[in-house]
Structure formats: C-alpha cells, structure tokens
C-alpha cells in the first residue's frame, strides 16, 4: 500500500455530530417516526450508525438493512458503472431512507433508488452526509444533505481513499 499524506481536516467531528442530530430532526419531520433505513456499504456505515441513534433520540423506530455498491476502484474517479454486490434487501411496502456517504456523480444513489423502487418500496428518500453538486452527472433527489462541499476528494468518518482513512473521526481532504 503506497504511503498517503495525512488528510487535512475539513469538517471536525463535533460539527458532524451536531449536523447529524439536526438531520435526524429534519428526517422525522418529513418522514414520520416509522423508518426503514437502507445504508450503502461500505462508505455509509459510520454515518448510518450515528444517524440511526440520532433518529432514535427523535423518537423514531428504525429498522436497518444494507446494500453493497461499488463504483470506485483504488482511484479517485467514479467509473460510472455501479456494481451491486450481494442481495438487494426486501423493501416491499416500506418507507425507505437510503443513507450514503457522498453524492458525487450521482450514479450510485440513482442506481440504489431504482433498485429499491423496483423492489416495491412505498417511498424512497435519499440522505447523504456530503454532497458535491458540481460533480453531478445524473439527477438525483437529494432529500437530506449533511454538508455541501467543493469538488475535493475527502476521507474519514467511514469514507476511504483506497481503503485508507475510514477510522478518522472528522472528514478531511486528501492532497495529491
Ligand atoms: P457517485 O456514484 O459518483 O455519486 O459516487 C458515490 C460514491 O463514490 C460515494 O458513495 C463514495 O463511496 C465514492 N466517492 C465519491 N466522492 C468521494 C470522495 O471524495 N472520497 C471518497 N469516496 C468518494
Ligand atoms: Mg459509496
């Protein structure tokens, strides 16, 4: 594994924690208290875990499932082709909150929404911690966004660069 420079901090962990609590309140106001969370692996797992408990503090009852999507290889550019790994969870008749780490080109979220709709979800709402709107290639309804960020490659809080830096508590920028 090549040595990577330590990321520079973009969003401190306390700012994330505050925003996650506010997001949970927004989500419950819009969706009600009966929520089926579908988290996108791998990058969405840390955010999903914190959001799950924040939703609980808002009085929501949340069930949880996962979809595993891959569009990135070891580089920084999306391939545009989204690979679905494993099974798509049964979401028929459910009010689904799709939870992902970043909306970049939009391909992965768009694919996930399509799969969940085909699977018979009653509603699909999209929540992402980070949004890079400048990079969007396909339209996607971004219902709940934690932070809008510029077109920089970020890591931390579950998000990786070539499988590194997921363990950072805040979000940082990787310089070349
Ligand atoms: P999209 O399909 O282009 O929207 O890409 C979405 C996925 O690409 C995200 O869920 C991330 O897993 C990954 N991704 C996009 N931008 C970044 C980044 O800045 N750092 C790390 N992963 C990223
Ligand atoms: Mg992802």
Put simply, whether the predicted model's pTM sits higher than 0.85 gets the answer yes
Quick: pLDDT tens for 6-19: 999 999 999 999 99
Of all ligands present, the nearest one to the C-alpha of 103 is: 1
Structural element, H or E, at residue 41: strand 34-41
Model confidence at 22, pLDDT cuts 50, 70, 90, reads very high
- The stretch 11-35 carries a mean pLDDT of 98
Question: Residue 75's pLDDT is what?
Answer: 67
Q: Is 153 in the pocket of ligand 1 (CB under 6 A)?
A: yes
Whether residue 42 is preceded by a cis peptide bond, meaning omega within 30 degrees of 0, is: yes
pLDDT of residue 127: 98
Average pLDDT taken over every residue of the chain: 94
Please give the pLDDT value at position 73: 57
Of 50, 100, 104, 160, the active-site residue reads 104
For the chain, the straight-line distance linking the first and the last C-alpha, in angstroms and rounded, comes to 15
| pLDDT surpasses 90 at 176 | no
User: How large a percentage of the chain has pLDDT more than 90?
Assistant: 85
Q: Any idea what DSSP says for residue 161?
A: B
131-157: pLDDT as tens digits: 999 999 999 999 999 999 999 999 999
Find out whether 71 and 83 touch, Cβ atoms under 8 Å: yes
CB under 8 A, 24+ apart: contacts of 142-149? 142/103, 142/109, 143/30, 144/23, 144/26, 144/27, 144/30, 145/103, 146/16, 146/19, 146/20, 146/23, 146/47, 147/11, 147/19, 147/171, 149/10, 149/11
The pick from 71, 75, 85, 134 for probing ligand 1's pocket by mutation, whose C-beta has the most ligand atoms within 8 angstroms, reads 71
> In the annotation, is 104 catalytic?
yes
From the CB of 174, is ligand 1 less than 6 Å away?
no
pLDDT at 57: 98
pLDDT digits (tens, 9 = 90+) for 70-116: 875 556 777 778 889 988 999 999 999 999 999 999 999 999 999 99
pLDDT, greater one: 79 or 38: 38
| Closest ligand, as measured to the CA of 108 | 1
In 42-140 the beta strands, taken as DSSP E runs, fall at 61-70, 83-85, 95-103, 123-131
- Using alpha carbons, select from 133, 84, 86, 129 the residue that is nearest to residue 106: 133
**Any ligand 1 atom below 6 A from CB of 72:** yes
């Amino acid at each position: 594994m090549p040595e990577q420079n330590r990321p520079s901090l973009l969003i401190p962990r306390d700012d994330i924690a505050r925003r996650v609590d506010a997001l949970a309140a927004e989500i419950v106001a819009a969706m009600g208290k009966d929520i089926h969370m579908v988290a996108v692996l791998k990058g969405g797992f840390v955010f999903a875990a914190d959001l799950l408990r924040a939703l609980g503090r808002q009085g929501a009852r949340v069930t949880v499932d996962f979809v595993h999507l891959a569009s990135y290889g070891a580089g920084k550019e999306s391939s545009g082709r989204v690979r679905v790994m494993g099974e798509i969870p049964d979401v028929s008749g459910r009010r689904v909150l799709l939870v992902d780490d970043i909306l970049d080109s939009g391909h992965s979220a768009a694919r996930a929404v399509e799969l969940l709709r085909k699977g018979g979800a009653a509603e699909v709402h999209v929540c992402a911690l980070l949004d890079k709107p400048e990079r969007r290639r396909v339209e996607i309804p971004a219902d709940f966004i934690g932070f809008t960020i510029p077109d920089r490659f970020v890591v931390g809080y579950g998000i990786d660069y070539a499988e590194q830096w997921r363990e950072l508590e805040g979000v940082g920028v990787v310089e070349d």
